[in-house]
Amino acid sequence: MSAVTTTVAVAAPEVSTEVRRRRRLSPGRRLPAARLVGPVLLLALWAAASAAGRLDPAAVPAPWTVVRTGAHLWTAGTLPTDILTSLGRAASGFAIGLGAGVLLALAAGLSRTGEALIDGTVNLNRAIPTLGLIPLFILWLGIGESFKVAIIAIVVYIPIYLNTHAALAGIDHRYVELAEVQGLSRFAFVRQIVIPGALPGFFVGLRLGVTGSWLGLVVLEQINATSGLGYLMFQAQNYGQSDVILVGLVVYGVFGLVSDSAARLVERRVLSWRRTLSS
């Protein structure tokens, strides 16, 4: 080491300094459990402020009050049925929206006639805020479950359609050429090239759709329902039970988190070939 330095020093004294690493401009390595730090800190602040009596318990009840109310509602109240009702609505609306979004995107992406018929219509539908359709749908379908499911389905199908259709339209032309050269049938082309090629876009739409289904659910249940989580929260508002409202919000949050994680998990599994790109 020193020998090298001396030789270099003799030959060219200016160059003999050791190579200094450049100043790093990227933020560096990620902290462990980085995504949990913020929420946990917030929870701790909330608990500390409640314990110190700095929060009005009528407006923001303490975390333990929320937990206790939640447990009470679960064992003695209607929480389990409300959750089931809400989950049922979200699930059926989501399933219909998913199917419709994918089928319409395939029809519009694979045939020019389909594109002419579908694409403009869906974009027109997108221009109308879906929640603005609520009054009309109540008139058409009544105030029961079907109108709620229909609204959720519309909220879900739009992002799924848009992203899947964009992904289909964006499939590399070189792959189409390859399919022609390899003599693929139309069916094999769709199955082996079109669908796998559009999957990344589809998953973006899927995750937006999942979020959308919860959003639609909240709105529908708070204004036009006689059961479900939103209804529970709406009632609590009338009686000034902020702890019940918070329980409802926590449940919504858990729903959102779990469903998004599930969508991401499926995405990672299905698109495992992509991992090699980022690693």
Report yes or no: 179 and 193 within 8 Å, Cβ to Cβ.
yes
What are the residues whose beta carbons fall under 8 Å from the beta carbon of 268, sequence distance 6 or more?
275
Minimal distance in Å, beta carbon 205 to another protein?
Answer: 18
CA 149 to chain centre: 19
273 binds another protein per the rule CB under 8 A: yes
* CB nearer another protein, residue 21 or residue 174: 174
Interface positions, 198-217, toward another protein (CB under 8 A): 199
| Backbone conformation region of residue 24, classed left if phi is above 0, alpha if psi is from -120 to 50, else beta | beta
Of positions 196, 215, 249, 263, contacts another protein by CB under 8 A: 196
Minimal distance in Å, beta carbon 109 to another protein?
Answer: 17
Minimal distance in Å, beta carbon 202 to another protein?
Answer: 13
Minimal distance in Å, beta carbon 201 to another protein?
Answer: 13
Q: Mask 127-166, x = binds another protein (CB under 8 A)?
A: ----------------------------------------
**Can you spell out the DSSP letters for 150-192?**
HHHHHHHHHHHHHHHHHHHHTS-HHHHHHHHHTT--HHHHIII
| Backbone conformation region of residue 22, classed left if phi is above 0, alpha if psi is from -120 to 50, else beta | beta
Helices 112-127 and 79-110 pack at an angle, to 10 degrees, of 140
Interface positions, 165-184, toward another protein (CB under 8 A): 174-175, 177-184
Minimal distance in Å, beta carbon 174 to another protein?
Answer: 6
- List contacts with another protein (CB under 8 A): 174-175, 177-184, 188, 192-193, 196-197, 199, 271, 273-274, 276-277
